[in-house]
A and B are shown apart, each in its own frame.
Chain A
Amino acid sequence: MTPALELERVTCTFVAGEDRAQRHTAVRDTSITVAPGEFVAVVGPTGCGKSTLLNIAAGLLEPSAGSVRVFGEPLAGINARAGYLFQAEALMPWRNALQNVIAGLEFRGIGPAAARAQGEDWLRRVGLGGFGDRYPHQLSGGMRKRVSLAQTLILDPEILLMDEPFSALDVQTRQLMENELLELWSADRKSVVFITHDLEEAIALSDRVMVLSAGPASHPIGDYRIDLPRPRDVAEIRLDRRFNEIHADIWHAMKDEVLKGYAQQRR
Chain B
Amino acid sequence: MRSSGGRLKLRLWQAAVLLAVFCAWHALTVPGVLPPFYFEDPNKAAFFFGEPLKVLGRIWDWFSGGDIYRHLWVTLQETLLAFATGTVLGIAIGIWLALAPTASAILDPYIKALNAMPRVILAPIFMVWFGLGMLSKVALGVTLVFFIVFFNVFQGVREVSPTVLANARMLGASRRQLLRHVYLPSAMSWVFASLHNSVGLAFVGAVVGEYLGSSEGVGYLILQAEGVFDINTVFAGILVLTAFALALDALVALAERRLMVWQPRSGETERI
**Bound complex: CA of A238 vs CA of B163, how far in Å?**
34
Q: Which of B177-214 contact A (CB under 8 A)?
A: 177, 181-182, 185-186, 188
Question: A60-B166, A137-B264 are known contacts. Are A104 and B172 too (CB-CB below 8 A)?
Answer: yes
* Contact A84 B261, beta carbon cutoff 8 Å: no
* Contact B164 A135, beta carbon cutoff 8 Å: no
For the complex formed, measure the closest distance between the CB of A7 and the CB atoms of chain B, giving whole angstroms. 17
Interface code B146-183, partner A: CB below 8 Å = 1, 0 otherwise? 00000000000000010110111111111001000110
At the interface, yes or no: A143 with Cβ under 8 Å from chain B? no
Contact of B169 among A60, A108, A152 (CB under 8 A): A60
**Bound complex: CA of A14 vs CA of B168, how far in Å?**
24
At the interface, yes or no: A58 with Cβ under 8 Å from chain B? yes
* Contact A135 B166, beta carbon cutoff 8 Å: no
Contact of B164 among A58, A80, A90, A108 (CB under 8 A): A90
For the complex formed, measure the closest distance between the CB of B153 and the CB atoms of chain A, giving whole angstroms. 15
Known: A89-B163, A92-B182, A107-B177. 13 other contacts (CB 8 A): A58-B166, A84-B170, A90-B163, A90-B167, A91-B164, A91-B167, A92-B164, A94-B262, A103-B173, A107-B168, A107-B174, A137-B262, A148-B167
Residues in A with CB closer than 8 Å to B164 are 89-93
Q: Summarize B's interface: helix, strand, loop or mixed.
A: helix
Question: A78-B170, A103-B171, A155-B171 are known contacts. Are A94 and B163 too (CB-CB below 8 A)?
Answer: no
* Contact B177 A96, beta carbon cutoff 8 Å: no
Contact of A92 among B168, B170, B172 (CB under 8 A): B168
At the interface, yes or no: A95 with Cβ under 8 Å from chain B? yes
* Contact A92 B181, beta carbon cutoff 8 Å: yes
Interface code A69-107, partner B: CB below 8 Å = 1, 0 otherwise? 000000000111011101011111111100000011011
Residues in B with CB closer than 8 Å to A79 are 170
**Bound complex: CA of A93 vs CA of B263, how far in Å?**
8
Can you give 30 A-B contacts (C-beta < 8 A)? A55-B166, A58-B166, A60-B166, A79-B170, A83-B170, A84-B166, A86-B163, A86-B166, A86-B167, A90-B161, A90-B163, A90-B164, A90-B167, A91-B164, A92-B164, A92-B167, A92-B181, A92-B182, A92-B185, A103-B168, A103-B173, A103-B181, A104-B171, A104-B172, A107-B172, A135-B261, A136-B262, A137-B264, A155-B171, A155-B172
Contact of A108 among B168, B170, B172 (CB under 8 A): B172
Q: Which of B97-153 contact A (CB under 8 A)?
A: none
* Contact A94 B170, beta carbon cutoff 8 Å: no
Tell which of A89, A90, A104, A136 has the most Cβ of chain B within 10 Å. A90
For the complex formed, measure the closest distance between the CB of A12 and the CB atoms of chain B, giving whole angstroms. 16
- How many interface residues does A have (CB within 8 Å)? 31
Contact of A135 among B170, B171, B262 (CB under 8 A): B262
For the complex formed, measure the closest distance between the CB of B190 and the CB atoms of chain A, giving whole angstroms. 13
Query: In which size bucket is the chain B interface?
Result: 20 to 34
With both beta carbons as reference points, the residue of chain A lying nearest to B264 in the complex is identified as A137
**Bound complex: CA of A135 vs CA of B262, how far in Å?**
6
For the complex formed, measure the closest distance between the CB of A190 and the CB atoms of chain B, giving whole angstroms. 15
**Bound complex: CA of A158 vs CA of B177, how far in Å?**
23
* Contact B169 A151, beta carbon cutoff 8 Å: no
**Bound complex: CA of A39 vs CA of B182, how far in Å?**
32
Q: Which of B237-269 contact A (CB under 8 A)?
A: 261-264
* Contact A93 B262, beta carbon cutoff 8 Å: yes
**Bound complex: CA of A93 vs CA of B265, how far in Å?**
13
**Bound complex: CA of A95 vs CA of B262, how far in Å?**
7
Residues in B with CB closer than 8 Å to A60 are 166, 169-170
For the complex formed, measure the closest distance between the CB of A85 and the CB atoms of chain B, giving whole angstroms. 9
* Contact B161 A89, beta carbon cutoff 8 Å: yes
For the complex formed, measure the closest distance between the CB of A169 and the CB atoms of chain B, giving whole angstroms. 18
Residues in A with CB closer than 8 Å to B263 are 93, 137
**Bound complex: CA of A135 vs CA of B108, how far in Å?**
37
With both beta carbons as reference points, the residue of chain A lying nearest to B261 in the complex is identified as A135
